[in-house]
Structure 1
Amino acid sequence: MSLHPVVLITGALTGIGRAAALAFAHEQARIVVSGRRAEEGEQLAAELRALGSEAEFVHADVRFEDSVRQLVQRTVARFGRLDVAVNAAGTEGEPGPVTELTPERYAAVFDTNVLGTMLSMKHEMHVMLAQGSGSIVNISSTMGSRGAPNVSLYAASKHAVEGLTKSAAIEGAAAGVRVNAIAPGPVETAMLARLTGNEERKTAFLASVPLKRAGAPEEIADAIVFIASAKAGFITGEILRVNGGKTAS
């Protein structure tokens, strides 16, 4: 990886994606952030530049291949290469029991979490395989290895992300392309607030975490920066579970 790696982040405008962008900026990376809200994206890019990073926002919707293709092409056109890709675009969907699921609710989750990750990896890997190096970091969840009531679609989508990660890692290994995933536990984001609904339920949920708290987005971002870096150069096809011990038992 070059001294100032080129980093592409999808789903960069909120939560873990945003924290990752800031963390890479502190490492003086050259960064392309993407998402679906242009005003917020331009504000984030300006914030990253204020930290001393070369940064650009590119509007993209990972559910559509043309959008993903153009995102990766613009990244390479701007910086000449692609060293790290963080595929953070994701949604929890509408919770509910299996008996109430519909094809529409399935598509609302899987089009972003699974199709979006697949399309992103497809075009990122085209670039990385050609240059003979690169690191892709997908975002899974504690639900990528477990189940829970009323979140079956979200859990299934994150199981799929982990399967995509492991398979792509095997495909990319010979060319020096690493593919890993970070699987956060509960993190202080808007998604956690939506999933728990209120402070009482949130407190009860966090009581099940051995460290008795939610993670900070910055803690997940630190794990992303590590596993994307040369310090993790012998790690590929792995799911790094950053969850306060939630899956330890």
Structure 2
Amino acid sequence: MTDETPRLTEAPARKALGQHFLFDPDILRRTALASGPVEGRTVIEVGPGPGGLTRALLNEGVAKLICVEADERFANALETWPEAAEGRLHVYQHDARKINWTSIIEESGGTLPAMIVANLPYNVGTPLLVDWLKTGDWRGEMALMFQKEVAERIVAGPGTPHYGRLAVLTHAVCDAHIAFTLPPGAFRPPPKVDSAVAVLTPLAPDRRFADLDTLEKVSTAAFGQRRKMLRASLKALAKTRGIDATTWLESCNIDPTARAETLTQDEFRALATYLGNAG
């Protein structure tokens, strides 16, 4: 097959699926390689649409490319590509939020850890990322296109405007940075906001925090009332475990009058560990 994307690229985007397509070969190649070389790797792509990024990934030598596409128009077209017949390209017409990822990697003959490279549909990007952060060792490096504001929330650090639950969860298991940003005009149809590729690299096992479910509960409660002091924002969560919020915070060497945006990753981990042990 040539470097051209399939003729179905002219099919209109479906707003209900959050579709915004990229066609520029240079941008597609930058996205494909944003988290590192893909040659010889198993790569997952969610929402391939007309296949521009799919083509870029195949051109860069992926060993197995697993595409999950909810839109039957594009899933059917990708299944006609020569790489599908050859066994390099595996297409699943499915809702990505309901996929058993380890099963489809095994079924396709892929190897672990699998990279994830995707121009994510805007309406499912954040929940997919949270699920992937929690899933463990099958997932390797990720290069994911989001709305710019979402990407900023993923990579944010303490004391910055975008710091919140998503950053706390991300940095519990990954290093993260923004590789590049794109204006609306780079897409068809153009979205109303800028976009950005966030790159997430798994931390070494001894640097990861295991209990992301508890960490999510703590960070959600803390940032849910971010203008309040932590002793107030965490009060209800503490009560569910039969503990006092002030005692909990002081036991973790955290000022009960502090606010969520000031806490470091280590302090959130300490709070989650204490809460987990209390349960």
| TM-score where L is the length of structure 2 | 0.43
Between Structure 1 and Structure 2, the one with more helix by share is 1
Structure possessing the higher relative contact order (Cα contacts under 8 Å, 6 or more residues apart): 1
**Higher radius of gyration, 1 or 2:** 2
| TM-score where L is the length of structure 1 | 0.48
